A and B are shown apart, each in its own frame.
Chain A
């Protein structure tokens, strides 16, 4: 048997982190929640893809002669941004049957006559109505002009020149950032809760006394936070990869570069947010000795996260408002608000740098103070420890 060596800090932290990961990775709550998040992201994309494809495809049935109407419908569809398919049907009865079967979105009766009617199943879709109305009036105007002897009319075509060939990516980017924030928020809450539960578990089962006879509190805390953090990071990266791949495969985004940039910034902000909240949650959890008392001490911090989440959603529509601007620099809120503000075009790189620096300073403070509270409260295994007692307790 080899003689025991003295493990260094790095090794102890690795051992603790390894235990956290191997325990959680077999934990049902973790596996189920990971699965659910992935399913939600996938589901949202499939939904998007279906909605997008449906909105862009309009099938119109024309009863009777469609020779003049067909090109007009297709052209008009192009104007409103829809791919129009035209089917010719013999009579109204056939049109009603096709509508009822869902084969067509609308049926145009007497399209070239004096009283054209559009049959729809329930309520008319605005794309459909616009397409059909436009086409019918175009055909009617053309015919009346022809009847009046005006022919070969020259209508100048408007040339379109895009000054930013990328189009307007802000909306798309904001959407991606909001989805990213939802995932970020969910994971921050989930993994920080894991940290808090782990701290209380070690206290309530008194295993902490055995652990602290072999290592210092900061090594235990660092191992726990890093281990679970890596797990959270792996999870958010997995979701990001699935999301980006899915978005590209389903062709949901026009600008893959923007998508990847936004996703990467969300992942980076997750790291900053997690370091902050995990330390806070761990310090708070170390004050209590039973899982039942945990909710009482971590609720205030969960509330901060919830507030950050809603402010971030608000920032999507108003990225330059004072609420979004101020909160995007506030430590703890910035990881949720800043990515949305940036995506929505409300913040430049200088703002991001400033927010990151503020957040890093806050992390340093929280780690120091939280570590002190944690070390002071960890061995007080009876009841609740007051914050002041924990800070004053002798640390060994």
Chain B
């Protein structure tokens, strides 16, 4: 288990992290979401030992991360960092060696990853001659080359074209299949929804929602039922017990059911009005969930 536990961090008066915690199981992918400046990068930098937490710790297999365990983490910083004039092959080999591979193994691993990421022909080119997308691949190769036990990636998808996104996603899924816990932050929520087993949403220094996308939907999305009854008269559902009409337009009705309300009685009422063309629990997208949990409470706005 990779555990982020109760992280607090302030820069001056600015409380960036206020008790952030979540766990990532081996072999699962964790999507770390939050608005700009929510503290995702700060949390990841603390995990990598680049910042010191005011309180809390990050553990891997039950032990707090230190210099030695961090060497077994593949890391991709938000702001990409490579030596511009160093050749692709040498650069990836160098990072492999810093992670503890000996010279021969480092060279072999670098060759392998450069090949797998489709850069075999660019091995001898300085990084600065590569396109941004290809530089991103070198960055990923640098993170993966040491066969890390854990991957922590800050915005790995930003700046990639759709093909690049797909190949990176495939690469990360493969790592997860091999039992590596993968944490990545992203603004591309559709991507997070598609790839991640679990999601954490960070807002104002707190985890406002964590869990699988399914759990989040159930918990945060409320119980919204969409019923389309073209022949029904206006207000057909108003009198049903435990049901609140959220919206109603020409038979397209959105209902919020209280916990005890019975969806089958709603269906029966709908059938009584005539044809029922749609009857389903509404699945909010991650984007909607995100908006809902990240939205600044009204009193904060007034304050």
> Taking beta carbons and an 8 Å cutoff, which residues of A are in contact with B?
1-2, 4-7, 12, 15, 19, 22-23, 201-202, 205-216, 379, 381, 394, 396
Q: Report B31 CB to chain A, min CB distance, Å.
A: 21
Known contacts A1-B147, A210-B142; decide if A205 and B100 are in contact (CB<8 Å): no
Which of chain A's residues have a CB closer than 8 A to the CB of B77?
206, 209-210
- Given contacts A213-B73, A214-B98, is CB(A205)–CB(B50) below 8 Å? no
Bound complex: CA of A12 vs CA of B97, how far in Å? Answer: 9
B75 contacts A213, C-beta separation under 8 Å:
yes
**A residues within 8 A CB of B75?**
210, 213
B contacts, CB < 8 Å to A = 45, 48-52, 67-68, 70-73, 75, 77, 79-86, 90, 94-95, 97-102, 105, 108-109, 142, 146-147
| Cβ-neighbour of B50 out of A6, A23, A207, A396 (below 8 A) | A396
CA distance A12 to B71 in the complex (A): 12
CA distance A348 to B85 in the complex (A): 48
When distances are taken between beta carbons in the complex, the residues of chain A under 8 Å from B105 are 1-2
Which A residues are CB-close (under 8 A) to B98? 7, 12, 15, 211, 214-215
CB contacts between A and B, total, < 8 Å: 86
Q: Besides A15-B97, A206-B79, A213-B70, 6 other CB < 8 A contacts?
A: A2-B105, A4-B100, A209-B45, A213-B50, A214-B95, A394-B51
- How far is A23 from B90 in the complex, measured between Cα atoms in Å? 10
Residue pair A214, B52 in contact (C-beta under 8 Å): no
Cβ distance B111 to chain A, nearest Cβ, rounded Å: 12
In the bound assembly, the distance between CA atoms of A396 and B50 in angstroms comes to 6
A6 touches B71 (CB 8 A): yes
> Cβ of A206 and Cβ of B100 under 8 Å apart?
no
From B70, B86, B109, contact of A1 by CB (8 A): B109
Cβ of A6 and Cβ of B97 under 8 Å apart? no
Contact B71 A210, beta carbon cutoff 8 Å = no
User: CB distance B142 to A205 under 8 Å?
Assistant: no
Main secondary structure of the interface of A (DSSP, over half): loop
Show 28 A/B contacts (Cβ-Cβ < 8 Å), sorted by A: A1-B105, A1-B147, A2-B105, A4-B100, A4-B147, A7-B100, A15-B94, A19-B94, A23-B83, A23-B85, A201-B83, A205-B82, A206-B79, A207-B83, A209-B50, A209-B81, A210-B81, A210-B142, A211-B81, A211-B98, A213-B48, A213-B73, A214-B71, A214-B98, A214-B99, A216-B67, A379-B50, A396-B52
Given A2-B101, A19-B94, A213–B49 Cβ distance below 8 Å? yes
- On chain A, the residues within 8 Å of B84 by CB distance are 201, 205
Is the pair B80, A206 in contact by a Cβ cutoff of 8 Å?
Answer: yes
Contacts of B79 in A (CB 8 A): 206, 209, 381
Partner of B100, one of A6, A210, A216: A6
The distance in angstroms between the C-alpha atoms of A19 and B72, with both chains bound, is: 22
A22 / chain B contacts, CB cutoff of 8 Å: 90
A15 — which chain B residues lie within 8 A by C-beta?
94, 97-98
- Closest 5 pairs (CB-CB, A-B): A207-B81, A4-B100, A206-B81, A206-B79, A209-B77
Are B50's CB and A4's CB within 8 A?
Answer: no
